[in-house]
């Protein structure tokens, strides 16, 4: 009798362990429940533009062509491409759907149209962008650092210190050189 | 004073910031550019140390031209993402 009870206990314990161990499929699903997925979904909604239901009966999408293209080609979000894609950013689609009152699977009305932003003061001109890049503090600092090195090399010809500065100017400062 | 022209022609790059430094005994110039540039400097006779730093994802051809000048190493020089920084010795 004791043996049977022990055997039952062992079987029960094994069953519990097996039940609590996630299967491969469960692990795959659990792996997808992350903030990244939420971020991805959020970025898709952002790309689709405004998603409104002003009168609680109509669903309206107002994506720009830029938003739609950015879902397919993320490279367009790079700064230079962003500036070039003026047409895509100014061209907005207006799509509206009115679901039926009786069923959400039926559509009573569908509207479509487009608008183009002729005036857009938010647009950054190429010249302004150039000035923005050139005024980047990191670039300014690098310029000052190189200018100081150049001046030192020019003012200390044929000296050990001058040659060291020349080496820094040619190769840059390595981590080892900074630590020394 | 002889005119010396420094030119950078950016090829096949989305963007390139170039820092140009020209230093002599009594002459110091530095500036940053975005993309292709051309700068003419009126330099008194003497020795100059030039630093060119090209932050590019493509390529840039750099050249120094002028009358009666000597440049080491020889120009034009090519910059790319693996060769971003070069120095030159210029004698005017």
Q: With 0-12 CB in 10 A as exposed, 13-18 as middle and 19+ as buried, what is A111?
A: exposed
- Nearest by CB to residue A147, choosing from B21, B25, B47, is B21
Give the global pTM: 0.53
Give the pLDDT of residue B65.
Answer: 93
Give the pLDDT of residue A180.
Answer: 47
The alpha carbon of residue A85 is apart from the nearest alpha carbon of chain B, in Å, by 14
Chain A residue numbers touching B33 (CB-CB < 8 A): 134
Domains: count for chain B: 1
Beta bridge partners of A46: none
In which residue are the tokens 């314990």 written? A13
Question: How far is the C-alpha of A63 from the C-alpha of A70, rounded, in Å?
Answer: 11
Give me A2's structure tokens: 């004791």
Question: How far is the C-alpha of A27 from the C-alpha of A20, rounded, in Å?
Answer: 12
Question: How far is the C-alpha of A26 from the C-alpha of A59, rounded, in Å?
Answer: 35
The stretch B47-56 carries a mean pLDDT of 90
In which residue are the tokens 């003026």 written? A86
- Nearest by CB to residue B23, choosing from A79, A144, A153, is A153
How many CB atoms are closer than 10 A to CB A60?
Answer: 17
DSSP annotation of A174: -
The alpha carbon of residue B2 is apart from the nearest alpha carbon of chain A, in Å, by 19
The stretch B40-56 carries a mean pLDDT of 90
- Which of A76, A132, A143 has the most B C-beta neighbours within 10 Å, making it the best mutation to test the interface with B? A143
Closest residue of chain B to A162, computed from CA coordinates = B49
In which residue are the tokens 């790079």 written? A78
Low-confidence ranges of chain A (pLDDT < 70): 1-57, 79-80, 82-84, 104, 118-134, 172-180
**By the 8 A CB rule, do A70 and A76 touch?**
yes
**Residue A128 or B70, more confident:** B70
Give me A131's structure tokens: 């000035």
SS (H, E, C) A110-169: EEEEEEECCCCCCCCCHHHHHHHHHCCHHHHHHHHHHHHHHHHHHHCCCCHHHHHHHHHH
Domain range for B8: 3-91
How would residue B42 be classed by pLDDT, with cut points 50, 70 and 90?
A: very high
The residues, ordered by sequence, that sit 6+ positions from B82 with a Cβ below 8 Å of its Cβ are none
- Nearest by CB to residue A143, choosing from B28, B30, B47, is B30
CB contact under 8 A, B23 and A154: yes
DSSP annotation of A22: P
CB contact under 8 A, A133 and B17: yes
Question: How far is the C-alpha of B8 from the C-alpha of B63, rounded, in Å?
Answer: 7
CB contact under 8 A, A154 and B47: yes
Each domain of chain A, given as residue ranges in start order, spans: 1-33, 38-124, 136-179
Give me B54's structure tokens: 């090209």
Give the pLDDT of residue B48.
Answer: 94
Cβ contacts from A onto B, under 8 A = 71
Chain A residue numbers touching B15 (CB-CB < 8 A): 79-80, 133
Question: How far is the C-alpha of B3 from the C-alpha of B90, rounded, in Å?
Answer: 13
Give me B12's structure tokens: 């096949």
B7, pLDDT greater than 90: yes
């Amino acid at each position: 009798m004791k043996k049977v009870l022990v055997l039952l206990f062992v079987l029960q314990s094994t069953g519990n362990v097996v039940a609590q161990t996630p299967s491969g499929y469960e692990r795959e699903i659990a792996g997808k429940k992350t903030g990244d997925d939420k971020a991805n979904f959020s970025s898709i909604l952002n790309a689709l533009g405004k998603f409104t239901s002003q009168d609680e009966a109509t669903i309206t999408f107002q994506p720009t062509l830029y938003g739609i293209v950015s879902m397919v080609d993320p490279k367009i979000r790079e700064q230079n491409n962003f500036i070039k894609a003026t047409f895509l950013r100014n061209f907005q689609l207006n799509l509206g759907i009115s679901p039926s009152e009786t069923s959400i699977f039926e559509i009573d009305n569908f509207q479509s149209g487009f608008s183009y932003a002729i005036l857009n003061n938010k647009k950054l001109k190429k010249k302004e962008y150039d000035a923005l890049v050139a005024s980047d503090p990191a670039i300014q600092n690098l310029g000052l650092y190189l200018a100081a090195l150049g001046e030192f090399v020019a003012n200390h010809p044929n000296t050990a210190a001058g040659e060291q500065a020349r080496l820094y100017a040619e190769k840059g400062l390595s981590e080892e050189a900074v630590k020394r | 004073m002889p005119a010396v022209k420094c030119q950078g022609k950016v090829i096949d790059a989305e963007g390139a910031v170039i820092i140009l430094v020209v230093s002599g005994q009594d002459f110091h110039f530095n500036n940053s550019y975005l993309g292709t540039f051309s700068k003419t400097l009126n330099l008194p006779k003497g020795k100059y140390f030039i630093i060119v730093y090209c932050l590019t994802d493509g390529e840039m051809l750099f050249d120094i031209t002028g009358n009666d000048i000597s440049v080491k190493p020889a120009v034009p020089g090519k910059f790319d993402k693996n060769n971003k920084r070069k120095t030159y010795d210029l004698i005017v």
